[in-house]
Structure 1
Amino acid sequence: METSKNLIVSNVAEIELVYKTNVKASERPKIASSKDANTILLENWNSDKIEFVEQFKVMYLNRGNHVIGIVDISTGGIAGTYVDIRVVYAGALKANACAIIVAHNHPSGVLKASEQDKTLTRELKKAGEILKIQLLDHLIVTSEGYFSFRDEGLL
């Protein structure tokens, strides 16, 4: 009986909650507007893919709206990409983020939110409210401009 119990325990994965950074807090950029967020996101976007395939990224922020990090959540095809809300917030929880800004590109260059974009934004906002992690904005980015859900009153 005892051997069986030990076997079960040894087959359980250890989960460690750790956040490591090599960037000093004073060196992290601060987000004060959608323009700031767009600038930083574009600096971290592969310019070879922005007009090719749709990608979804998340910017994690601390309480002072300083960028903790940016994570690529998914890459899809020409017309869309799948976003798992659990993955978006798993990163936020691990980084101890207080807020997030999400972004995706439209390879077509169209700076207009689709119904799917609006639905996803509502779902992300609702999940964030439960976790006490604020969704500050959802940007649609292209090589020639951006669309902000916050600026357009959709968030």
Structure 2
Amino acid sequence: MNNLSKVSEIEVFFRPKYKASERPKMTSSKDAYLILIDVWKEGLMQFTEEFKVILLNSANRVLGIVDIAKGGKDYVPVDMKLIFSIALKASASKIILAHNHPSGSLVPSSADKQLTQKSIEASKVLDIEICDHIIVSNEGYFSFRDDGLM
């Protein structure tokens, strides 16, 4: 047997559980926040920073929410390749970035701003729209879109 036959098969699939008409529709940052706060484990939100992505179809219907990374008290490493490979796999047209601040602060850090800009640049190549980047805490939320930072 030669090395040419030692190639792994790669499967790419996405199995939605609900019809498009049954999925929540995102019309504002508050809609996104309400979904995020519902799925976030409130107890952990106060201890570790986590990064999630809401995947949307072209009609702003939620395809799903993906846990991208978990970090420490004030930092979470985010891999762009992971975000966009999942978005492509789910045939998402749009995404909403989200992470929490365990401190409760809703002020975006310079790293948060840089990550948002890096994501926007990466999304242009793949034709996937970044609708917003939302910072979540038990105190409320901050929307980059609403605050004019996108």
Whether TM exceeds 0.5 here: the answer is: yes
The SS at the match of 1:120 is helix
Identify which of 34, 41, 51 aligns with 1:39: 34
CA distance, structure 2, for counterparts of residue 14 and residue 36 of structure 1? 39
Q: Deviations over 1:13-44 (max 9, x none)?
A: 11122211121211100000000000001111
Note if 1:56 corresponds to 2:51.
yes
CA distance, structure 1, for counterparts of residue 33 and residue 118 of structure 2? 22
Asked which structure has the greater CA Rg, the reply is 1
Identify which of 85, 95, 108 aligns with 1:113: 108
The SS at the match of 2:43 is coil
In the alignment, what sits opposite 2:90? 95
In the alignment, what sits opposite 2:138? 143
Identify which of 48, 62, 67 aligns with 1:72: 67
CA drift of 1:56 comes to 0.2
Note if 1:12 corresponds to 2:12.
no
Identify which of 120, 124, 128 aligns with 1:129: 124
> Which structure 1 residue ranges, 4+ long, deviate > 2 Å from structure 2?
none
RMSD: 0.8
CA distance, structure 2, for counterparts of residue 79 and residue 18 of structure 1? 34
Unaligned regions of 5+ residues in structure 2, if any? none
Unaligned regions of 5+ residues in structure 1, if any? none
The SS at the match of 2:42 is coil
Aligned residue identity for 1:75: K
So what's the TM-score if we normalise by structure 1?
A: 0.94
The SS at the match of 2:116 is helix
CA distance, structure 1, for counterparts of residue 87 and residue 72 of structure 2? 25
Aligned residue identity for 1:22: K
The SS at the match of 2:37 is helix
CA drift of 1:69 comes to 0.3
